[in-house]
Amino acid sequence: MATHRLHIVSASTRPTSAGRPLAHWLTERARVHGEFAPTLIDLGEVALPFLDEPEHPSEGRYLHQHTKNWSATVGAADSFVFVMPMYNGGFSAPLKNAIDFLHQEWQGKPVGLISYSAGTSGGAPAVEMLRPVLDRVGLRPAPRTLSIPGIEGHLTPDRRFRATPALTGDADAVLDAVATLLTPQRPRAGATRS
Ligand SMILES: Cc1cc2nc3c(=O)[nH]c(=O)nc-3n(C[C@H](O)[C@H](O)[C@H](O)COP(=O)(O)O)c2cc1C
């Protein structure tokens, strides 16, 4: 049953983003997964400026309408998948900026991490670089990640994402791992209360 509100965040703002088709494909994949009501959030469309709030985001007192809108968007999600490019060995500046804008809205929510790059790493170093940032805002990364090398090679001439069976299985495993983090843990049989 589709109960969990999953926001799939496409973390490139480039008009020619190679990751955007991947994020679209993943949104459809999440829809057929069964446990999610997915929404695609394109940071290119969100179009946040660089952080321009006078107060620390953890105060939750936002001055600007763009921050209030972003707060409502992120606050409405139960979980996320970040579809993130690697730029110069790290995560994209728009993703970091979008995270920095808020605080409470991220707290305790699971996040799946799917990276991609032109080269052979698939952006795995960017994922590792992001982990301490996620920790600071209380996002809970799913233990299963996916890194896709040679992203342009996965696009059709009309720039749709062309998935292989292996990639589909790996993406589904990330979605499963996010769903597991959303499932309340049942107490172990025989566990005693104190
Ligand atoms: C500023 C910039 C830096 C990049 N740095 C790397 C890199 O360090 N390693 C790599 O494999 N690809 C790198 N690339 C290639 C990107 O991974 C590739 O262009 C990818 O499509 C970018 O995602 P996007 O198209 O969704 O913005 C870089 C691209 C850009 C624009």
CATH code of the domain in which 148 resides: 3.40.50.360
Ligand 1 and 18: CB distance under 6 A: yes
Model pLDDT, residue 183: 86
Indicate whether 118 belongs to any domain: yes
User: Residue 191: its pLDDT value, please?
Assistant: 47
Q: What are 70's two structure tokens?
A: 């972003």
Q: What is the pLDDT of residues 8-55, one digit of tens each?
A: 999 999 999 999 999 999 999 999 999 999 999 999 999 999 999 999
Residue 147, in any domain of the structure: yes
- N- to C-terminal Cα separation, the chain: 35
**What's the total number of domains in the chain?**
1
Q: What is the pLDDT of residue 186?
A: 55
With a cut of 70, which residues of the chain have pLDDT below it?
1-2, 185-194
From 8, 12, 86, the mutation candidate for ligand 1 (largest count of ligand atoms within 8 A of CB) is 86
120 ligand 1 Cβ < 6 A: no
Residue 116 CB contacts under 8 Å (≥ 6 apart), including other chains: 18, 19, 22, 83, 84, 85, 86, 122, 123, 147, 148, 149, 151
In a domain, 191, yes or no: no
43: in domain: yes
In a domain? residue 74 = yes
Instruction: Identify the domain containing residue 68 by its residue range.
Output: 4-182
Q: Does any ligand 1 atom lie closer than 6 A to the CB of residue 17?
A: yes
Residue 119 domain flag: yes
For residue 192, tell me if it sits in a domain.
Answer: no
Residues listed for the chain: 194
Residue 189 in domain: no
Q: What is the pLDDT of residues 91-100, one digit of tens each?
A: 999 999 999 9
Determine the 3-state secondary structure of 84 from DSSP.
Answer: strand
